[in-house]
Amino acid sequence: MASLEQLLPRLQRALALLGQKVAQEQAVSLDELAAEAALSKYHFHRLYRLAFGETCKQTQTRLQLLRVSQALNENALSAQQVAWLAGFSSAQALSKVLKRELNTNATELRQDPERLGLLMQELQLPKTQMVAPYQVSVVSLQGTEVLSVLTRDQYPELNQQYELLFEVAAVQSDILAILGLAWQDLDSDVAGARFDCALLTAPVVSVQQTGVSLQRISGGVFLVFRHQGSYQQLGDSIDWLYAYAVTQGYQLADQPCLHHYLDDPEQVEEAVLRTDLYLPVSR
């Protein structure tokens, strides 16, 4: 893939499928959308967000609100009927989304045809955003085994998991690196987003603790970007790394993005914390 622009037709296929499912009031999984775009399920969502400036869930909500605005504009259906037409479970559910997303309600929209017309125009298309490449390095790594704990929907509150890993590893070996494996886009509304806490140790630890396991990290070629600052801003650096990959013609490998935490946040100020981000790629 030479650029995000060249990926757009594939991502637009996923966007079209999502729109079709919304129109049919059917659910669609991220795996199905990634397959429609012929992209790795591990990287699809972040590329989608980079391309369209919104998450898949935000696209779904936008398209539902478009159906709401069209229904309010074309006929005098009740709020409950409008909600059902747009795929909401109830008028109350629709009311909450209108308040959260647009700070309004169905009655106010009906009474303001000009605003309703502008809203229908705005909701037609995603708010696309530009992405800019950032210079990164290219490294080759050998595969290795790490001590890990699998989590879902817990990022970034992972202190207890890392403490558990330290307890298991400390009595058996030296800790060489504190790692994290991001299997999904963690800065989104992806349900069940997986993040594995991990430690690289020497020698390899024998595991007897429930919830802790040995995991094999595949070797290969990685693009590396050093993030400096708060862990809360890691998502921006990962976006930059993806942007660089797609603008420089790299193929994203079918494995997770690797985080290497270089500093102890209890001893180093947040503004200078260093994290090396490894994005698996091939040419």
Q: Encode pLDDT of 243-263 as tens digits.
A: 888 877 888 999 999 999 999
Q: What is the DSSP string of 191-235?
A: TT-EEEEEEEEESPPP--STT-EEEEEP-EEEEEEEEES-GGGHH
User: What average pLDDT does range 262-273 have in this prediction?
Assistant: 89
Top CATH class, 4-122: mainly alpha
Question: So what's the pLDDT on residue 266?
Answer: 87
Q: Is 252 helix (H, G, I), strand (E, B) or coil?
A: strand
Which position has the higher pLDDT, 129 or 19? Answer: 19
The CA distance from 273 to 283, in Å, is 31
Residue pLDDT, tens place only, 6-34 = 788 889 899 999 999 988 888 899 999 99
Superfamily name with CATH number, domain 137-282: Regulatory factor, effector binding domain (3.20.80.10)
Q: Please report, for the chain, the start and end positions of each structural domain, with discontinuous segments joined by +.
A: 4-122, 137-282
Does residue 222 contact residue 138 with C-beta atoms inside 8 Å?
yes
The CA distance from 71 to 85, in Å, is 8
Whether a cis peptide bond, with omega within 30° of 0, leads into 156 is yes
Q: Residue 114 pLDDT more than 90?
A: no
Q: Residues 154, 182, 187, 240: what is their CA dihedral angle, to the nearest 10 degrees?
A: 160
Residue type at 249 in one-letter notation: G
Does residue 85 contact residue 71 with C-beta atoms inside 8 Å?
yes
- pTM over cut 0.85: no
